[in-house]
Amino acid sequence: MLKETGKLVYGLAYNGQMYFDYTVKPLTLADELKALEVLEETGLIEDVSGAKKAILTTLAYWAQQLEVSGIDAENLSVEFLLHNLASEDYQSILTSMESLRSKSIAAGQSDPAASEEADSSVVMQ
């Protein structure tokens, strides 16, 4: 599975220590359903609009996609990220997500030489 690693500038405080190293992974369908369930159960995005709603939704997805070395996955909740993630670190993770997306797109593109070879073998048959 594709992953992207990075380092937070300000880090996340947890149990009296600071943590900086993180990894992001693609969002699976199960992860997306879990994020939507969390948003529905907690009511975090009810009666909010615009940028706040977008950020809370993003954090719900990240709670499923983000791994921080030294912090248990179940502790990386929307509320934890909202109250502990610095704005600059939020931007760093966004950049990592874009890089992951680019890697995924690049991995899905076929090799032109291999495509030509496959096309020529079909024609020859």
Query: What would the pLDDT profile of 97-114 be if each residue is shown by its tens digit?
Result: 999 988 877 777 655 554
Contact (CB, 8 A) for 90 and 66: no
Question: Which pLDDT belongs to residue 9?
Answer: 97
The verdict on residue 28 lying in a domain is yes
Name residues of the chain where pLDDT drops below 50. Answer: 114-125
The verdict on residue 110 lying in a domain is no
The verdict on residue 116 lying in a domain is no
Question: Which pLDDT belongs to residue 97?
Answer: 93
The verdict on residue 71 lying in a domain is yes
The three-state secondary structure class of 71 is strand
How large is the angle between the packed helices 87-108 and 50-65, nearest 10 degrees? 60
The verdict on residue 111 lying in a domain is no
The verdict on residue 57 lying in a domain is yes
Domain containing 49 equals 4-105
Q: Say how far apart CA 80 and CA 59 lie, in whole Å.
A: 9
Say how many CA atoms lie within 13 Å of 95 toward its Cβ: 11
Q: How far is CA 21 from the centre of its chain?
A: 14
Ramachandran category for residue 11: left, alpha or beta (phi over 0 → left; psi -120 to 50 → alpha): left
The verdict on residue 66 lying in a domain is yes
The verdict on residue 121 lying in a domain is no
Number of domains in the chain: 1
Q: How far is CA 14 from the centre of its chain?
A: 20
